[in-house]
């Protein structure tokens, strides 16, 4: 069983909708990362957080260490947000990745 679980696996939204992706993990961690993988395959780091909340443009990431849960929110979604979003946890030097959430935003 993967120690990092993401939900949903797939998500389709209409442009302008609010999107939430969830990440649950079962190990102790020192940090959590959210990554974005574009349709062409490139991967970029969106957030790294160890507590609370971070915001960058229309993206918001939150983490609850006690509940071992993180969420990535996309406000006012746009077709260019279509990508795979990946959660990764740092368990004191060991990085473990979720399987990703495929997001499609339609015009």
CB of 59 to another protein, least distance (A): 14
Please identify, using beta-carbon distances, which residue of 9 and 12 lies nearer to another protein: 9
CA angle 84, 47, 57 (to 5 degrees): 85
Between the CA atoms of 27, 30, 33 and 3, what dihedral angle is there, to the nearest 10 degrees? Answer: -10
Between the CA atoms of 38, 84, 16 and 70, what dihedral angle is there, to the nearest 10 degrees? Answer: -130
CB of 51 to another protein, least distance (A): 14
Please identify, using beta-carbon distances, which residue of 23 and 77 lies nearer to another protein: 23
Please identify, using beta-carbon distances, which residue of 82 and 96 lies nearer to another protein: 96
Q: Which residues bind to another protein, rule: CB under 8 A?
A: 2, 4, 30-31, 33, 40-45, 48, 86, 88, 90-100
CB of 66 to another protein, least distance (A): 20
Q: β-strands 31-37, 43-49: how paired? A: antiparallel
């Amino acid at each position: 069983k993967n120690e990092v679980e993401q939900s949903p696996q797939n998500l389709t939204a209409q442009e302008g909708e609010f999107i939430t992706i969830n990440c649950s993990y079962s190990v102790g961690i020192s940090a959590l990362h959210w990554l974005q993988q574009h349709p062409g395959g490139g991967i970029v780091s969106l957030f790294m957080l160890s507590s609370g909340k971070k915001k960058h443009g229309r993206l918001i990431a939150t983490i609850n260490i006690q509940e071992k849960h993180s969420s990535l929110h996309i406000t006012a979604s746009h077709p260019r947000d279509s990508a795979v979003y990946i959660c990764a946890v740092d368990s004191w030097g060991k990085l473990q990745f979720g399987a990703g959430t495929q997001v499609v935003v339609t015009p």
